[in-house]
């Protein structure tokens, strides 16, 4: 770290760069595809317009952000590595650099619990978290506790899924017969090994985990490590602080995105209370909308693992489809962060 950091609560440099991704306002677009590997990010970036030259920043902490235009529209590709904590840095820090709506498609790999063949593309309708219960006594066994916890599922953005499905079908390469699968549930885990039910030399108490997941979660199909955390943060974002000015002219909306359950102020008039703030639901708050496309790399039923050649084909296909889907999603002008600076 070479720059002075100004604020311990949300650390940023004097010129507004966030601490881990290293980007600042104007360097990230409202439409984002996030991946886990640098090579996948670079491949997707080859589809961006050559001019203006895409902006690229590889942060000291290993996050890569590439922002350019796809058919004239600003788009970012962000490589975050693996796991929930990386998602947390990504969503919070990018959100801090953006105004308006944030559309996120995660494009990653997964393991599959059903009989879908490797190379299938799964667009989960929802995702839950499977986490290791650290209070369980893993060394000695523990009759009182469960070794793994399952969260409630959180839905994906249904418009984004359908747009993604259409984009995948319309960019399908000639001869590619891979399945595009909807209406399944994903589980994001906190380990590639223990909480995905893999048997290793550690005492993980996970031999019944996959059967348990299949029994308790209807439509469960895929296991990976990030999707849930994206959906969870998208659903729990509370919008821009009320003090922050709206982008361009504020727009009245037909309905709130985050409904306010506040009681009517007029019936509780009390001079000792501060004047009511403008109702949050008269101006539509920006949103975070998210979906995922997951390439089945590992079949956990047949034990088959995908070949590198098959991965290349899928990445080229999906890389273009995710960009097409992001472009096809409408973001009203007043909810777009105008691109500045180097982008």
C-alpha–C-alpha distance, residues 225 and 49, integer Å: 31
Given the complex with ligand R1P, which of 161 and 247 has the nearer CB atom?
161
Task: Residue 37: name its binding partner from ligand R1P, ligand URA, none (Cβ under 5 to 8 Å by kind).
Answer: ligand R1P
| Residues found near ligand URA in the complex (CB under 6 A) | 109-111, 192, 196, 223-225, 297-298
The distance of closest approach from Cβ of residue 197 to ligand URA in the complex, given in angstroms and rounded to an integer, is: 10
The distance of closest approach from Cβ of residue 21 to ligand R1P in the complex, given in angstroms and rounded to an integer, is: 17
The distance of closest approach from Cβ of residue 35 to ligand R1P in the complex, given in angstroms and rounded to an integer, is: 6
Given the complex with ligand R1P, which of 55 and 297 has the nearer CB atom?
297
Number of residues that this document lists for the chain: 343
**Which tokens hold the place of 264?**
């009517």
The distance of closest approach from Cβ of residue 313 to ligand URA in the complex, given in angstroms and rounded to an integer, is: 17
Closest CA to 199 of 300, 126, 125: 300
Given the complex with ligand URA, which of 191 and 285 has the nearer CB atom?
191
For residue 113, the number of C-alpha atoms closer than 13 Å in the C-beta half-sphere is 23
Given the complex with ligand R1P, which of 163 and 227 has the nearer CB atom?
227
Task: Residue 226: name its binding partner from ligand R1P, ligand URA, none (Cβ under 5 to 8 Å by kind).
Answer: ligand R1P
Given the complex with ligand R1P, which of 93 and 315 has the nearer CB atom?
315
Given the complex with ligand R1P, which of 193 and 202 has the nearer CB atom?
193
**Which tokens hold the place of 127?**
């995702």
Given the complex with ligand R1P, which of 47 and 136 has the nearer CB atom?
47
The distance of closest approach from Cβ of residue 222 to ligand URA in the complex, given in angstroms and rounded to an integer, is: 8
**What is the secondary structure of 271-307 as a DSSP string?**
TTSPPPPPPGGGBPPP-EEEEEEEEEEEETTT--B--
Residue 108 sits at φ, ψ, to 5 deg, of -145, -175
Task: Residue 298: name its binding partner from ligand URA, ligand R1P, none (Cβ under 5 to 8 Å by kind).
Answer: ligand URA
C-alpha–C-alpha distance, residues 324 and 17, integer Å: 29
The distance of closest approach from Cβ of residue 313 to ligand R1P in the complex, given in angstroms and rounded to an integer, is: 15
Task: Residue 111: name its binding partner from ligand URA, ligand R1P, none (Cβ under 5 to 8 Å by kind).
Answer: ligand URA
Residue 328 sits at φ, ψ, to 5 deg, of -75, -15
Task: Residue 98: name its binding partner from ligand URA, ligand R1P, none (Cβ under 5 to 8 Å by kind).
Answer: none
Given the complex with ligand URA, which of 26 and 36 has the nearer CB atom?
36
Task: Residue 27: name its binding partner from ligand URA, ligand R1P, none (Cβ under 5 to 8 Å by kind).
Answer: none
The single-letter DSSP state of residue 27 is: S
Task: Residue 82: name its binding partner from ligand R1P, ligand URA, none (Cβ under 5 to 8 Å by kind).
Answer: ligand R1P
C-alpha–C-alpha distance, residues 333 and 249, integer Å: 10
For the chain, percent helix, then strand, then coil, each to nearest 5? 25, 25, 50
**Which tokens hold the place of 111?**
């393991």
C-alpha–C-alpha distance, residues 196 and 236, integer Å: 25
Residue with tokens 């799964």: 122
| Residues found near ligand R1P in the complex (CB under 6 A) | 35-37, 82, 108-109, 192, 224-226
Q: In angstroms, what CA-CA distances link 192 with 77, 146, 326?
A: 24, 19, 29
Task: Residue 36: name its binding partner from ligand R1P, ligand URA, none (Cβ under 5 to 8 Å by kind).
Answer: ligand R1P
């Amino acid at each position: 770290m070479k720059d002075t950091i100004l604020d311990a609560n949300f650390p940023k440099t004097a010129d507004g760069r966030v601490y881990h991704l290293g980007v600042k306002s104007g360097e990230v677009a409202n439409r984002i595809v996030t991946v886990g590997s640098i090579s996948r990010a670079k491949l997707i970036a080859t589809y961006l317009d050559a001019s203006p030259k895409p902006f690229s920043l590889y942060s000291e902490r290993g996050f890569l952000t590439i922002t350019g235009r796809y058919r004239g529209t600003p788009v970012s590709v962000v490589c975050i590595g693996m796991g929930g904590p990386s998602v947390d840095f990504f969503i919070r820090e990018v959100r801090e650099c953006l105004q308006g709506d944030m559309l996120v498609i995660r494009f990653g790999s997964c393991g599959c619990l059903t009989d879908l063949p490797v190379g299938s593309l799964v667009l989960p309708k929802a995702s839950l978290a499977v986490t290791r219960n650290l209070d369980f006594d893993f060394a000695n066994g523990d009759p009182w506790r469960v070794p793994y916890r399952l969260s409630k599922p959180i839905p994906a953005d249904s418009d984004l899924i359908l747009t993604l499905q259409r984009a995948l079908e319309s960019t399908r390469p000639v001869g590619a017969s891979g399945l595009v699968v909807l209406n399944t549930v994903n589980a994001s885990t906190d380990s590639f090994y223990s909480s995905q039910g893999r048997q290793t030399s550690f005492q993980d108490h996970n031999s019944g985990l996959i059967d348990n997941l299949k029994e308790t979660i209807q439509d469960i199909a895929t296991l990976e490590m990030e999707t849930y955390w994206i959906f969870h943060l998208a659903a729990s974002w509370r919008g821009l602080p009320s003090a922050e000015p709206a982008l361009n002219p504020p727009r009245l909306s037909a309905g709130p995105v985050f409904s306010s359950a506040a009681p009517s102020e007029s019936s509780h008039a009390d001079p000792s209370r501060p004047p009511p703030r403008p109702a949050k639901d008269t101006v539509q708050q920006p949103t975070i909308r998210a979906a995922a496309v997951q390439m089945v790399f590992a079949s956990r039923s047949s034990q088959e693992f995908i070949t590198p050649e098959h991965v290349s084909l899928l990445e080229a296909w999906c890389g273009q489809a995710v960009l097409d889907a992001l472009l096809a999603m409408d973001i009203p002008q007043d909810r777009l962060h105008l691109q500045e600076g180097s982008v």
